[in-house]
Structures are given as structure tokens and as C-alpha cells.
Amino acid sequence: MSGTREPADAAAPIAVLGAGSWGTALAIQFARAGHPTLLWGRDPAQLALLARDRANARYLPGAAFPPALEVEEDLGRALARAPDVLLAVPSAGFRSTLETLKPRLGPGQRVAWATKGFELETGLLPHQVAHAVLGPEVPLAVLSGPTFAVEVGRGLPTAMTVASPDAEFAELLARTLSGANFRAYTSPDIVGVEVGGAVKNVLAIGTGIADGMGYGANTRIALITRGLAEMTRLGLALGARRETFMGLAALGDLVLSCTDDQSRNRRFGLAIAAGKGAAEAQRAIGQVVEGVNAARAVRTVAARHGVEMPIAEQVYAVLYEGRAVGEAVRALMQRELRQE
């Protein structure tokens, strides 16, 4: 790669790739915490607006860019200047973004992401995709947890998890993110953190459907609690640690996504309950609803590993097999009784 790379020290910036709501919010937080930050996106016209307005008026209105945040329109320049790179792209574009990065990465450059979800075609978790594309020598990490971009952009108190088998990289990211109203915890369990981030989206759709049908608080908490059990079973089958599922990136993110209407997945479920088709519901939301593809991917991965996930299975049936919500509820309620 051409150009001179800055040394990996405290003054070197981090490059955030993806100028949607979440990428912008994370870039704002890195910069707010005092870390030089470069924000890059695929749309030059959008980047020009961000640079002019010093804000992302479309996705994060009212969240001004801190002085340490710079909009960088040239991907090559961004990567040449930043020893650490954070991807904030939808799961469907994760592999292609990594493939774009691979020939541009230099020695020692590290890659993190805030992408959630299994790869639809392969059933791989993001860190497995990253290993396959970038090779085992590139340090990797994931940022995940119960966070809404708008609240992070506004600087409201927030906590999340940074997971990586590379403890030094996880700790660096946690330090550079953390500030007066933002606390990042570290974890070595990248599998558990990624499973939590993928499965919670499916369960949030199911909870949104149930709430939209007027099934009430009892149903909602049953779906959350039993959904957590399903998430944990799948995670353990994939090699995760059980304690991870009691933390921010699993239980925390699950409760947030299932109970607050800022969640796209929950709103999607509400729209399905109101009689809208999947395409219409996604158009109304105007952003990617990760749980739609995740419902297919989770079903495939669970079947591959022999893991029972009845709630996720019924969400899939409603979305892809045309099953009526009432039938899905009956299927869940009529399952054979068993110990919790």
C-alpha cells in the first residue's frame, strides 16, 4: 500500500468505515472521548454534507461532530493514517467490505467491527468471516451491547462490550471509547458476544409481533426469558462461555431490543402484526432490519448444530412460510411440558 502509515500510538486516529447511524455515533463517541477519529462512507455526496454540516442530519439530528472527528472522503488516505479500523456496516456487506480492505491493510493494522449477525450464505459469525478474508495474523475485535445510536450520539450514559481474543486490542478500544458518559467493558468471548448480537434481533422481531397483536406483558417477558435460553443454547454449542449471556452483549441487548421502539427489529415486528408485508415494513423503517436475514441464518446454524430454538423457529415461519401469528403462538404453547 502506498503512503506512510502513522505509528500506532495514542495520537494516531481510528478510522470508522460506515457513515450510517451507528458508524456516525461511534465516531462521535471516539472523538468525544478525545481520540482523533476519521469517518468514511461509500457515498461521496453524503460525506460532503457531513463535512459541511459537521453533523449527520439524516440519521443523528442534533448530534454535532466533536473537533476531533474528521470526515475523510478517501478510503486509502483513511487507512494510511489509522493503525486501527472499525467497520460499522450491515452484515450483508461485511465480507465485501473486508475484501476491499484486505489489499490496503498494512503490517500491524488491526480491525474491529460493530456488525451483528451470522453471514446468511455460510452461517459464519463475523469474526470467522474476518479470519477467512484477512487471515489469522490480523488482530480482531467486536463492539456490541445494548446501545441505540441516537442516544450514543447525544452523549447519554451508555455501556457496551468490546470482545477480542487479543486482550491488548480490546483494552485499547475500551479505553479510547470510554468517557464521562460511556463505559466499555472487555471480554475474551468473541463467540458469545457475536451470538448475542445476532440472535437478539430475531427475538426482538418476535416480541414486536406479540406486542403488536396485543398479547401483553406476560407474553413479552416469557419471550425474552425463554429467548435468552435459546440464545444461550446456541452460543454454548458454538463454543461460547455461559456467563457471557448474562452480560451486556446478550441479556442487556436482548432486553433493550425487545422493549424499546427505537429498535428497528421490534418496530418491524409491530409492522408485521399490523398486517404489513416484510418489504413494506422495511421500507417504512428506512434502514436495514438485521433480524430479517438473521431469522434465516439462525435457523440454519441451529439445525446444523442440533440446537432447539422454538421461538426463533416460529419467527422464521411467520416471516418466510406465511404462518399466521396465532398458529405460531399455539405451536409454542402446545409444546411438550418440560423442566425450565
Contact 32, 176 (CB under 8 A): no
Look-up of cell digits 468471516: 129
| Catalytic one of 102, 116, 200, 276 | 200
**Residue 178, Cα to own-chain centre: how many angstroms?**
18
Determine which helix (DSSP H) or strand (DSSP E) holds 277, and give its type and residue range.
none
Taking Cα atoms as reference points, which of 67, 59, 64 lies closest to residue 18? Answer: 59
The C-alpha atoms of residue 205 and residue 264 are separated, in whole angstroms, by 9
How many residues are present in the chain? 340
Strand, helix or coil for residue 180: coil
Q: Name the region of 157 (left: φ>0; alpha: ψ -120 to 50; beta: rest).
A: beta
Residue 182 cell numbers, joined: 460511556
In terms of Cβ atoms closer than 10 Å to its own Cβ (0-12, 13-18, 19+), residue 62 is: exposed
Contact 258, 315 (CB under 8 A): no
For residue 73, CA distances in Å to 6, 17, 323, 329 come to 18, 11, 46, 49
102 classed as catalytic: no
Enumerate the H helices of the chain as residue ranges.
21-32, 44-53, 75-81, 94-101, 126-134, 149-154, 167-177, 190-212, 217-237, 253-259, 264-273, 278-285, 290-305, 310-320, 325-333
Taking Cα atoms as reference points, which of 14, 19, 261, 244 lies closest to residue 144? Answer: 244
**Residue 67, Cα to own-chain centre: how many angstroms?**
26
What sign has the CA pseudo-torsion 279, 285, 288, 291? Answer: negative
Strand, helix or coil for residue 112: strand
Q: Which residues are catalytic?
A: 200
